[in-house]
Structure 1
């Protein structure tokens, strides 16, 4: 499949690389990848939206692909507020007043935060696995053993050995996560090599390590983002129209029978559990993801 040329825009902190599809005059849709993924997750979705007349932006998150920090002294933060601020800055740089957002994992967190704190900027939200705001204040409380076991990689990143391991084996490590998190998907071996080069970014390891340490309060965040992080401690509701897509076979966060996130959404909200789908939702289930986006865009 042919892909669009990579464009870029400069914000206060980053030069953000992104792919653009469709007419600039169309309603804007921003598609956000997670860890350890890339814009390749949307290869079957972005062109289909463009064919419907939408203006589609697919950015590389901080620490991925050609996206770069503007200054060497800037903290290579991976905290949730940094991801959300990057999304807001991208929208401002591209003069996008309002957009429909779609994201999962880290990208879903950015989308959920912007939807919660800046609802006037969001027309609709397709979120992978529901309410993705981290409850950092309660993050050190132990979970049940099965859940703790699934989060092994996060605890690994808290150690110097984890930093060395990700640095030395980043492609092999991330491929292993793909296999664990999408255990029933038959295209892992085919699709992973298309995404793996995005991890060669010089800031990838630092951003990833900071992300998984900050969420457990083991490192400080960026002082410039403290006001947003404080707002997130209140676990604000999301009022914009939302469809949550959950992978029934997700190896890191399988969809529970009962929707535990519904109370965080105060507007239109629908949860769709996708049979046979793991963590990499848009890449494993492009048609279901596309349908969710069009259902919101055409409401």
Structure 2
């Protein structure tokens, strides 16, 4: 059984797996919504076997991660997720690491790669250039695309907040089914992850995330400058591998080859048929291979 370590870092006491040799190349694996660190169980085993030090943190609002102050805004904005990752690396004295993630976790990795490129030895990003552009989010899209994001619009209202609080497991299970339609996940695996949603800040962080990205609530004032930098759509300079699950039921653009212009050192792009939104748990072999390719990259 794996041990979850707690580390004070920035605004948070972060719960994480910290496995593998301390002298090994550092890799940080970052989960999305509504998932948790168990998405990386198989990937972690494989990377540790190859000599990597593997860090898999619960994001803010998940698992055993807790805010250190009651006064901190329970923000889910992208400009909070990146500094969370940076603070964790600082706390663990990790100067540079391969950063890999999807959904919210991929966003955190992209934020650090874009804003602090010296801290990112390589980037594995599912869903392509994973930085949000809130002004674009206010432009209406085709109805079929809008329908994919029903859960975001649901959470814009107080009825949605109450619904998430009361039915967080049922909502997450539905999203798993919709977003990974070809993945026959086991109920035991879902329940293992769903325990992470009992975090006392889960609902507030999730609701803030989906309201902030549509301009409905302000963000944390401390991150205004970083948010402004991200809105310039900076080109990511780190060596990058893009992975796409071509059966991703939430992605408007499941094949993100058009995102290549956002990466100065794009090593390759790989799309995998039959894989949905939770790429590392559905296809750990391909995800692990991408990380190892970057661990060995100059």
TM-score, length-scaled by structure 2: 0.97
Aligned position for 1:9: 7
Aligned position for 2:96: 98
Equivalent pairs, count: 297
Q: Deviations over 1:57-116 (max 9, x none)?
A: 000000000000011111000000100010000000000000001100000000011111
Contact map agreement 1:248 1:254 (CA 8 A) in 2 = no
1:215 to 213, 225, 228: 213
* SS in structure 2 of the partner of residue 240 of structure 1: strand
Contact map agreement 1:15 1:67 (CA 8 A) in 2 = yes
2:22 to 21, 24, 47: 24
Unaligned stretches of 5+ residues in structure 2: none
* SS in structure 2 of the partner of residue 246 of structure 1: strand
Aligned position for 1:114: 112
- 2:234 matches 1:236: yes
Q: Deviations over 1:105-155 (max 9, x none)?
A: 000000011111111001101011110000112220011111100001000
Cα distance, 1:258 vs. partner? 6.5
* SS in structure 1 of the partner of residue 45 of structure 2: helix
CA distance in 1, matches of 2:186, 2:226: 36
**1:122–1:24 CA distance, 2 compared to 1 (3 A):** same
Cα distance, 1:239 vs. partner? 1.1
CA distance in 2, matches of 1:74, 1:61: 15
Aligned position for 1:282: 280
Once superposed, which parts of structure 1, at least 4 consecutive aligned residues long, lie more than 3 Å away? 254-258
Aligned position for 2:173: 175
Contact map agreement 1:22 1:47 (CA 8 A) in 2 = no
CA distance in 1, matches of 2:209, 2:148: 17
1:75 to 73, 79, 86: 73
Unaligned stretches of 5+ residues in structure 1: none
* SS in structure 2 of the partner of residue 44 of structure 1: helix
Contact map agreement 2:212 2:218 (CA 8 A) in 1 = yes
Deviates more, 1:45-54 or 1:200-209: 45-54
- 2:91 matches 1:55: no
Contact map agreement 2:260 2:266 (CA 8 A) in 1 = no
CA distance in 2, matches of 1:257, 1:202: 36
Q: Deviations over 1:182-224 (max 9, x none)?
A: 0111125342111000000000000000000000110000001
TM-score, length-scaled by structure 1: 0.97
CA distance in 1, matches of 2:264, 2:115: 13
Aligned position for 1:272: 270
Q: Report matched runs for 1:140-179 at 5 Å.
A: 140-179=138-177
Contact map agreement 2:75 2:209 (CA 8 A) in 1 = yes
